Structure 1
Amino acid sequence: MDAAEPPVATGPSAATGPSAATGPSGATWPSVAAAVRDGIRCMLMRGGTSKGAYFLASDLPSDPGARDDLLLRIMGSPDPRQIDGIGGAHPLTSKVAIVSRSAVEGIDVDYLFLQIGVDAATVGDAQTCGNLLAGIGPFAVERGLVPATGERTTVRIRLLNTGDIATAGFATIDGRPEYDGDAVIDGVPGTASAIELEVGGGADKPLLPTGRASDDIDGHTVTLIDNGMPVVLLRGEEFGVDGSEPPAALEADDALAGRIERVRLGAGPLMGLGDVSGQTVPKMILLSPPREGGAISTRAFIPARVHTAIGVLMAASVAAALRIPGAVGHDIAGPLTGDETPVEHPSGTFPSRVEVTRDPDGTWRATSFSLRTARKLFDGMVFPRPRR
């Protein structure tokens, strides 16, 4: 997912001592002191170009404040190095996925994504993550929430942060996920087993929140689009960006960051997100003509750090916009053939597949398809720090 970073919309409770919370089944969850002593079941997985800690909802407190406080202890936040936790000192590696069986007919599991602040004590749920989504199906099989079905297993997933529905298809052998394979994705070394993802917003979620292909914010022409991730598309040339800049150079340009943030703050209310000054959405993506034979060149602000690649759902939003006349990027995109869009990013190219349709009333809609990989890194008990 897609990628995220602090500051974020929601924060943890102020509690720092041992406490109890009601678990998902109504039972009393063990105290923090017990969790510190005995540990909590956790699986660390790489999902796409991100990495995160995966938990069953039943292994965490159901009270959001108690849960968030515990996760900060586990990840080692706030600390720029996250030296006393399992976070990786970067927004792309300070993520949590919480999974449970779904009570919705036709859906196998529910997936809640939480972005853990690195150097700030923040836990955000305003967005989802399409990269960690790649690991949800295998995790559900690993934990026995969904049975493997022969050599290929399909898992239907409800994304609780956004309401989107995803379908994940992946290889299984002897009732377990198969992580070895020949699939390659830019931004991840080596090869792994392919995971096919389909994500759709449903009938109640239009692709363009304002209903317009473009809007004007702070003197800039922008496209506000949400194909699984709220995104603002900007013309790179208006900001002096040609699509060749390394992420570190863009991050170091305070004047550029300030201009982009002004647009982001103006976009929030138009996208139905309200005041986004404390949120990680919408993402801000500068578009430039393709440089490496793809459809478009991107530099994604998430929102203060610049993504070293691009999130799955960010790429899906870009790919959908390129197919809408009048949207930012439509006029500078390379040739689009079929439903696959090669989206260039700082570390390669992401082949995003989308199907874009228009209702009789003019409403644009999209479904995205992507090939990702994921891998189980470790499975065991994680021990939260006793106090923050």
Structure 2
Amino acid sequence: MTQTAIPYVFMRGGTSRGPYFRRSDLPEDLDQLASALIAVVGSGHPLNIDGIGGGTAVTTKVAMLSESKDNWADVDYFFAQVSVEDQLVDFKPTCGNILSGVGAAALEMGLVDPKGDETEVRIRAVNTGAQVLARVQTPGGRLAYDGSTEIAGVPGQAAPVQLNFMGVVGAATGSFLPTGSLRDAIDGIEVTCMDVAVPMVIARADAFGLSGYESAVELDGNSGFFDRMEAIRNKAGALMGLGDVSQSVTPKFGLLAQPLGSGTIATRYFMPWNTHPSMAVTGAQCLASCALAPGTIADGLLTRPETSPAQVVLEHPSGTIQVLVDFSTDEGFDLNSAGLVRTARKLADGHVYIPSAIWAGPEDNA
């Protein structure tokens, strides 16, 4: 055979989509795994014409699942961000939107069994070590995708997936504030470098001469802004202890502004070389934490809730996303957990094919 068949479930998770695999059905070696995923997605062409990617960063994501050996978790979730054109794979970050589909995918794959009308799936995010409790709808013991929940950036309605994130502070860098400061000045721009669910560099939109209400298309067309942002992101990555981040999607970049509507604060999130069309789940947790923590660059942009848990409504290009944040301020700002509601839907299943010259199948793992 000239091609290798790999079983998969193709799912939309939140506002992203991609293939969900059993980790054991893929190469063990990370270099070979990267090559296989590049072939799966079709990285190297703007349309991913020779793979199943969708030509954007939110549609070139991969989830790999396995039974967890962790005493707390049911499922290990290993994430990969595959670039659209550059044939690169980043195993450092995680993705909360793709994670929205992990519970359902684990049920589809038989990694967990449904339990009653709502099944709790305990997920360990392998990339960051975060613990996530997902509540998936299983009425009568059967997985359901139909429902009445809407999320911005996805048409129609679907069954809710409740996510509660724990252990997300300092997951990548070991610290809530990786530089040790609430604010840093880089290239004349004041930023807050924060690590909650994903390491981020966060600035005020007006520091770049922006309103913070620009569309994703408008921002993507502003090459001058992206050049300045990338220079700051690279320098911030070094200050955060992440080393050379020029080829990594982390740290991410975010902008804040006063709310335009009824939200808590206006946000824009970058992936980082394109503007996110809506909002990443991990980014939402970090931006909400930045908004709530006194002394950050968010000071003056919002009226901070005084009691916990607090619902933070982030305005983004496609609408809003709500984050329920459990925090304390006894000794500075401490995040206990963050909860969100997303949706997911199975789109297809079967086998995806890659050239056998790249990987001949599980026997290569022996």
Name the TM-score, length of structure 1 as normaliser: 0.87
Task: In structure 2, give the amino acid aligned to 1:45.
Answer: M
Q: Does 1:354 align with 2:314?
A: no
Q: Distance in 2 between matches of 1:383 and 1:359?
A: 54
Q: Does 1:332 align with 2:332?
A: no
Native 8 Å contact 2:325 2:335 kept in 1: no
Equivalent position SS for 2:312: strand
Q: Distance in 1 between matches of 2:195 and 2:9?
A: 30
Q: Distance in 2 between matches of 1:93 and 1:53?
A: 9
Q: Does 1:106 align with 2:72?
A: yes
Q: Distance in 1 between matches of 2:180 and 2:162?
A: 30
Q: Does 1:57 align with 2:34?
A: no
Q: How far 1:174 sits from its partner (Å)?
A: 4.5
Tell me the equivalent position of 1:380. Answer: 350
Q: How far 1:352 sits from its partner (Å)?
A: 1.3
Tell me the equivalent position of 1:300. Answer: 269
Q: Does 1:312 align with 2:278?
A: no
Q: Does 1:125 align with 2:91?
A: yes
Q: How far 1:327 sits from its partner (Å)?
A: 0.8
Q: Quick check: 207-216 or 309-318, which moved more?
A: 207-216
Equivalent position SS for 2:341: strand
Native 8 Å contact 1:78 1:120 kept in 2: yes
Native 8 Å contact 2:57 2:271 kept in 1: no
Equivalent position SS for 2:127: coil
* Structure 2 CA distance for partners of 1:354 and 1:203, relative to 1, 3 Å: closer
Native 8 Å contact 1:200 1:228 kept in 2: no
Tell me the equivalent position of 1:368. Answer: 338
Q: Distance in 2 between matches of 1:277 and 1:218?
A: 17
Q: Quick check: 220-229 or 172-181, which moved more?
A: 172-181
Q: Distance in 2 between matches of 1:77 and 1:278?
A: 15
Tell me the equivalent position of 2:14. Answer: 48
* Structure 2 CA distance for partners of 1:131 and 1:379, relative to 1, 3 Å: same
Q: Quick check: 124-133 or 336-345, which moved more?
A: 336-345
Q: Does 1:341 align with 2:307?
A: no
Q: Does 1:223 align with 2:192?
A: yes
Q: Does 1:321 align with 2:290?
A: yes
Equivalent position SS for 2:231: helix
Tell me the equivalent position of 2:183. Answer: 214
Q: How far 1:363 sits from its partner (Å)?
A: 6.5
Q: Distance in 1 between matches of 2:330 and 2:246?
A: 33
- Matched ranges for 1:113-262 at <5 A: 113-201=79-167, 205-262=174-231
Q: Distance in 1 between matches of 2:75 and 2:6?
A: 21
Task: In structure 1, give the amino acid aligned to 2:285.
Answer: A
User: Structure 1 stretches (4+) deviating beyond 6 angstroms?
Assistant: none
Residue by residue, what CA displacement relative to the aligned partner does 1:9-47 show, whole Å, maximum 9, x if unpaired?
xxxxxxxxxxxxxxxxxxxxxxxx56x15x110110000
Native 8 Å contact 1:320 1:366 kept in 2: no
Q: Distance in 2 between matches of 1:114 and 1:242?
A: 33
Q: Distance in 2 between matches of 1:202 and 1:369?
A: 12
Native 8 Å contact 1:300 1:310 kept in 2: yes
* Structure 2 CA distance for partners of 1:210 and 1:356, relative to 1, 3 Å: farther
Q: How far 1:101 sits from its partner (Å)?
A: 0.7
Tell me the equivalent position of 2:41. Answer: 75
Tell me the equivalent position of 2:361. Answer: none
Q: How far 1:161 sits from its partner (Å)?
A: 0.9
Native 8 Å contact 2:82 2:89 kept in 1: yes
Native 8 Å contact 1:156 1:166 kept in 2: yes
Q: How far 1:211 sits from its partner (Å)?
A: 3.4
Equivalent position SS for 1:321: helix
Q: Does 1:286 align with 2:255?
A: yes
Tell me the equivalent position of 1:14. Answer: none
Q: Distance in 2 between matches of 1:82 and 1:179?
A: 28
* Structure 2 CA distance for partners of 1:104 and 1:121, relative to 1, 3 Å: same
Over the matched positions of the two proteins, sequence identity in percent amounts to 40
Task: In structure 1, give the amino acid aligned to 2:342.
Answer: R
Give the paired residue count. Answer: 353
Equivalent position SS for 2:340: strand
Q: Distance in 2 between matches of 1:358 and 1:269?
A: 29
Native 8 Å contact 1:227 1:367 kept in 2: no
Native 8 Å contact 1:141 1:176 kept in 2: no
Q: How far 1:144 sits from its partner (Å)?
A: 1.1
Tell me the equivalent position of 1:23. Answer: none
Q: Distance in 1 between matches of 2:282 and 2:201?
A: 13
Q: How far 1:131 sits from its partner (Å)?
A: 0.1
